[in-house]
Each structure stands twice: as structure tokens, then as C-alpha cells.
Amino acid sequence: MRRLTTRAPGSCGEWIQGIYRGRPCLVSCPIDLYARVTITDVPQRIELPPKAMDLIDYFLWRYGLSEKVIRRLNIELDSEIPRGKGMASSTADLAALAGALSAFFDMHLDASEIAELCIAVEPSDNIMFPTLNLFNFVDGGVLKTFRHNLQAAIFVIDFKGTVDTVGFKGQRQIYTARDQAKFAGIVETFQRGLGRRNLQTVGNATTKSALLNQKVLEKPYLPLLIDLSSRFGGQGVVIGHSGTVVGILHEPGRLARDDLMRELLKHISADEIESTFERRVVPGGVQLLRNEF
């Protein structure tokens, strides 16, 4: 029996997101929460979410395969990524599935080809790329490639509620020419921070992106969290631009999390927070965890 498992990371929203040279784009912030797909060649009834089935259908059409090859398989999907929070849960599902199908059929698809499969189903994050890039999440395509990934930690505060991230129109309808000019500056600052491996400069860019997004999807406590980040050892905030999460970017061991939360809860009710958790920033990409025959 053949057994193959892949995984793809979720994200703490996006490092930055906006309209760049007229095109909607983002840079996902991959973290160590994962979606996993396992394929075995033991036929069983496949029960997957509708979007995953859509990707399988497109995969078969795109590469000229018969539906019969899928009927001979068992495909299982599981994820530890919260849903509807702007944490790339759906894209991680699709990317892990695309990567698993690629490996199972010995196609060796690269990240751009996996992204194409995901985009065919829905607007997608760019967590399938091993290195950071500025990605057109609606039409696909890399607008700018960055030389470095980033090593950092993120304290994630997930506020209650969900957002339909696919139906969310966001910046495409609201951004002005002035907003686009501001975002171009944010991209330059972000790129400079990555190039210098300067977390403070990166955090400056991500915080500006979060503030620019307030007119698109307001987070009432964002100004407070920016202030608390600076007071308790953070380097800035990273948000789900179409979701509910706010992350405090920091160097590992440098954030006074307990003090920050005590101060935050002086201003808001604990009932407004779904959960908090500490995660690591990780490289993107679909990983092959197991391929046994």
C-alpha cells in the first residue's frame, strides 16, 4: 500500500496587503499551524470539503486525468488552522491537497503551479511559496520576489467572530490613488526591512499596512494593540486584513505577554477574545512528510 502525506502552513494574516500598481496583492505571514493531506491507494468514499473537491476536478481537467484514478484512492484532510479568521485555512487545505496530488502522480509541480490550482478555485494566499513574495491573490502571479524570509515569533490574539474571506471585497473597491501611493511606500519599507533582516523596520511596514486597512475592515482595538506592542517588547502588529486576528510581532522571548494581556483586559472584556497563542514565523511551501510504498 502506498501512503503519502503533505502539509502546508496557515498564516497570521498578512505581513502586508493592498493594491500595488493597480493590482490586489498580499504577502502572507506563514506560521507553524498546518493543514495535512494523506493519500492512500486503498479505495474508500472520499469525503472532502466542496473547495477541495473543486480543486480535484480542476486538477484532473488541467492534467488530462480520468476520474477513475481518484476513485482508486482514499484522500483525508485535517487541519489545525482556525477557520474564517483570515489565517489562510482554506488556501492551506488546497495547497496541501495540490501538493499531495502532485507527489502521488509524480508531477513535481512547483509553487507557481500549485498556486495556479488554488487560484482556479478561489482567491488565495501565497503560503505555498518557500520564499516571501508579493502575490496577486485574485488572478495569481508574483508581482515582486523578496530575497529573504524572516525569523520571528508572533503572539496571536484572535477576536471573536468570522469573516467570509472569499466574499470579502476589501481594498479593490475602497482604495484611492492616495492609498495606493501609501501602499507602494509600505512595500518599499517592508522590502528594506527584509533585506536588512531588521524586525523593527518590517514591523513598521506591517503596522502601516494594518492601519491603512482600517478603512476596509476596522479593528476597533488596533490602535490600543499597537501601543501595547511598543510598550511591552513587540516590534509591531501583523493582522488578518480580511479576518479577525491581530498578531504582535516580536523577537523570541522579548515580549512581556502576561503584562500585555493584563493591560489589554483593562480596556476590553475577555469575552471579546476567542483565544490567544504564541506561534513561530516559518517559511512557506508545501512539505512532503511521508511517501511510503
Predicted confidence at residue 43, as pLDDT, reads 80
Domain boundaries, the chain: 3-292
**Residue among 238, 74, 72, 96 nearest 155 (CA):** 238
pLDDT for residue 114 is more than 50: yes
Instruction: Name the helix (H) or strand (E) containing 188.
Output: helix 177-196
Predicted confidence at residue 147, as pLDDT, reads 83
Q: pLDDT band at residue 170, thresholds of 50, 70 and 90?
A: low
Predicted confidence at residue 167, as pLDDT, reads 46
Phi, psi of 164 (to 5 degrees): -75, 95
Q: pLDDT band at residue 166, thresholds of 50, 70 and 90?
A: low
Predicted confidence at residue 172, as pLDDT, reads 64
pTM of the full predicted structure?
0.95
- Per-residue DSSP letters for 125-187? --TTSSS-EEE-TTT--EEEE-S-----EEEEEEES----TTT--THHHH--HHHHHHHHHHH
Q: Tell me the per-residue pLDDT of 85-104, one tens digit each, with 9 for 90 and over.
A: 999 999 999 999 999 999 99
Residues 211, 221: Cα–Cα separation, whole Å: 11
Predicted confidence at residue 163, as pLDDT, reads 73
**Domain covering 3-292 in this structure, CATH number:** 3.30.230.120
Cell of 162: 468570522
The pLDDT mean for the chain works out to 95
Predicted confidence at residue 174, as pLDDT, reads 82
Burial of 63 by CB count in 10 Å (0-12 exposed, 13-18 middle, 19+ buried)? Answer: middle
Predicted confidence at residue 245, as pLDDT, reads 97
What single letter denotes the amino acid at residue 173? Q
Residues 104, 63: Cα–Cα separation, whole Å: 13
